[in-house]
Amino acid sequence: MASSVPKWRRQPHERPAQILDAALDVFAEKGFHEARMDEIAESAGITKGTIYLYFESKEELFLAMVRTGFAEWVNLLPQITFEPGQDLEELGRDLGRTFLETLENPRFVKLIPVVLGELNHLPALKQIYREEIMPKANFHLAELLELGMQLGVMKRLDAVAAARCLFGMYFGFILTQEVLGAKEITPMSRETIADTITTVYFRGILAENGEAR
């Protein structure tokens, strides 16, 4: 339900989020290069000068929008732990459902094509992935998988590659189902996707008879 409070009457502490929301809408429609700051300001219900109180340039605003869009998903990973004796497959299934809940957010779905469209034009996007997303997401999950290998419940594999494979399966589903619209042809519940990916992934890497190879 839309807020009944006019945008121009909102409190100053709400303005950065207000600007970022408007920026996503405009960047998604126009692309980075065609979008204008005055259009973003109009969408946010503020003056263009107000944007520059929080963001020095259009590129800084765009990158802040990307960081904010990925923050919920990226910050989810460091909270995940694995204890000896815990069912790793069940942990993966629970994690998968949480992944999907985050990735299916309409704002995140809108963000994906915007980022993909600008990867070759804004080098800072790749830097954000390498320096901010990978350490918190890919490398942290790799550490959990490495622990599973050390405990003998998983086959010995390259942990970083294995982590990226798991992420790839989920992002592949979001890209095809949500961004490309495949859900109109093959609708699937969150539970179905998470259960299928977990089964395919973990049944392929769990050690046989509880012994590591």
- Which DSSP letter does residue 132 get? I
Structure tokens at 184: 């109109």
Cα(102)–Cα(167) distance, rounded to whole angstroms?
Answer: 13
206 has which bridge partners? Answer: 154
Q: pTM of the full predicted structure?
A: 0.83
Contacts of 2 (CB under 8 A, 6+ apart): none
Nearest 10 degrees: Cα torsion 111, 115, 118, 122 = 120
Check residue 209 and give its pLDDT. 59
Contacts of 24 (CB under 8 A, 6+ apart): 65, 69, 107, 110, 111, 114
Q: Which three-class secondary structure state does DSSP give residue 15?
A: helix
Higher pLDDT, 206 or 155: 155
pLDDT at 88 over 90: no
Across 79-155, the runs of DSSP E, i.e. the strands, are: none
pLDDT at 129 over 50: yes
Q: DSSP characters for 182-198? A: GGGTS---HHHHHHHHH
Question: Each residue of 4-35: pLDDT tens digit?
Answer: 445 545 566 788 999 999 999 999 999 999 99
Structure tokens at 97: 């459902």
Asked if residue 170 lies in contact with residue 195, where contact means CB atoms within 8 angstroms, the answer is no
Question: Each residue of 173-199: pLDDT tens digit?
Answer: 999 999 999 999 999 999 999 999 999
Q: What percent of the chain has pLDDT over 90?
A: 62
Question: Each residue of 133-172: pLDDT tens digit?
Answer: 988 888 988 988 898 888 888 889 999 999 999 999 999 9
Instruction: State the average pLDDT over residues 120-144.
Output: 91
pLDDT at 43 over 90: yes
For the chain, what are the domain ranges? 1-55, 62-210
Q: How far is CA 181 from CA 5, 15, 178, 188, in A?
A: 34, 32, 5, 12
Class of CATH domain 1-55 = mainly alpha
Cα(4)–Cα(91) distance, rounded to whole angstroms?
Answer: 41
Architecture of domain 62-210: Orthogonal Bundle (1.10)
Check residue 177 and give its pLDDT. 94
- Model confidence band, residue 111 (pLDDT cutoffs 50, 70, 90): very high
